Amino acid sequence: MRSVGLFLVGHIDAGSLHVGGDYPELYQELLGPHGINVVTYRCDEGQFPESLDEQDGWLCSPSRLSVYDDVAWLRTVEELLREIVRTETPFVGICFGHQLLAQALGGAVRKADFGWGIGAKEYEVHETREWMTPPREVIHLAASHQDQVLEVPADATVWASSDYCPVGGMFVGERAWTLQVHPEFSPALADSLLATRVSLFGEEHAAAARATLTRTSLDQGLLAGWISAFFHGE
């Protein structure tokens, strides 16, 4: 069993909590069957680790904030991410966590001209590591974001991209990697989030995105295996 700390920087919309709970429950459900125990650090409430050695590795949750928002505790999380990279501590950043690591290392994150990326999205895999077993050339996962990484940090390698999101995932060194889309979102959760935010996305865009969730099989199990193998050092 590996113990992985979760930097909790956001929450699931209250209208969809009934589907699978908040991010701590979602990641435990995703990774627990693979021998990962998720320990939550509520960064938005000022709870941070005293040492990165407290856990075997670290995750950063999604958030409805933007990484460039003027929020003091976000700057603390950024510094932790820089320390993670300096010390080659195992780290996985999802959605907001992907963007925050990019910004922390000198990359640029802004709202995309494309607008909202929502629904089931296809991402091409350009490069794999030994823990990405079985390997895939293409993955499908649920997306929900307006911001994107538009400038990649100097030391990062892009390993995944989509037609609407050129920087869909990064490798940073040997022990940190990120992904823009959501392995923790089941079709039911992604659909619920879309249904409760129609006024934000627009009826036509939301309906089209919801339809993709019935046509496409999401690779949640595949990514759960990749993330877990990474933290187990396999």
In percent, the amount of the chain with pLDDT more than 90 equals: 92
pLDDT, mean of residues 201-212 = 93
Q: Residue 8 has what pLDDT?
A: 98
For 68-97, b where at least 16 C-beta lie within 10 A, e where not — what string?
eeeeeebeebbebbeebbeeebbbbbbbbb
Q: Residue 9 has what pLDDT?
A: 97
C-alpha separations of 222 from 3, 9, 31, 164 in Å = 20, 25, 11, 22
Instruction: Given the residues 98, 140, 145, 182, select the one marked as catalytic.
Output: 182
pLDDT, mean of residues 78-92 = 97
In percent, the amount of the chain with pLDDT more than 70 equals: 100
Please give the mean pLDDT across all residues of the chain: 95
Contact 114, 164 (CB under 8 A): yes
Lowest mean pLDDT among 86-100, 109-123, 175-189: 109-123
Strand 147-151 vs strand 108-111: parallel, antiparallel, or unpaired?
A: antiparallel
Domains present along the chain, CATH in parentheses: 2-232 (3.40.50.880)
The answer to whether 54 is a known catalytic residue is no
Give me the phi and psi of 166, to 5 degrees please.
-60, -30
pLDDT in tens, 96-153: 999 999 999 999 999 988 788 899 999 999 999 999 999 999 999 999 999 999 999 9
What string of DSSP letters covers 41-90? EEGGGT---S-GGGSSEEEE---SS-TTS--HHHHHHHHHHHHHHHTT--
Q: Residue 234 has what pLDDT?
A: 59
Instruction: Given the residues 43, 95, 140, 165, select the one marked as catalytic.
Output: 95
**What is the rounded CA–CA span in Å between residue 32 and residue 36?**
5
- As given in the structure block, the two tokens for residue 218 are 């999401």
**What is the rounded CA–CA span in Å between residue 33 and residue 139?**
21
The answer to whether 60 is a known catalytic residue is no
**pTM reported for the whole predicted model:** 0.95
The answer to whether 182 is a known catalytic residue is yes
Lowest mean pLDDT among 62-71, 110-119, 208-217: 110-119
Q: In sequence order, what are the residues at sequence separation of 6 or more whose Cβ sits closer than 8 angstroms to the Cβ of residue 83?
A: 52, 89
Q: Residue 185 has what pLDDT?
A: 98
Residue 95 is given by DSSP the state: T
| Spatial CA neighbour of 111 closest among 173, 69, 142, 74 | 69
**What is the rounded CA–CA span in Å between residue 211 and residue 216?**
9
**What is the rounded CA–CA span in Å between residue 103 and residue 214?**
34
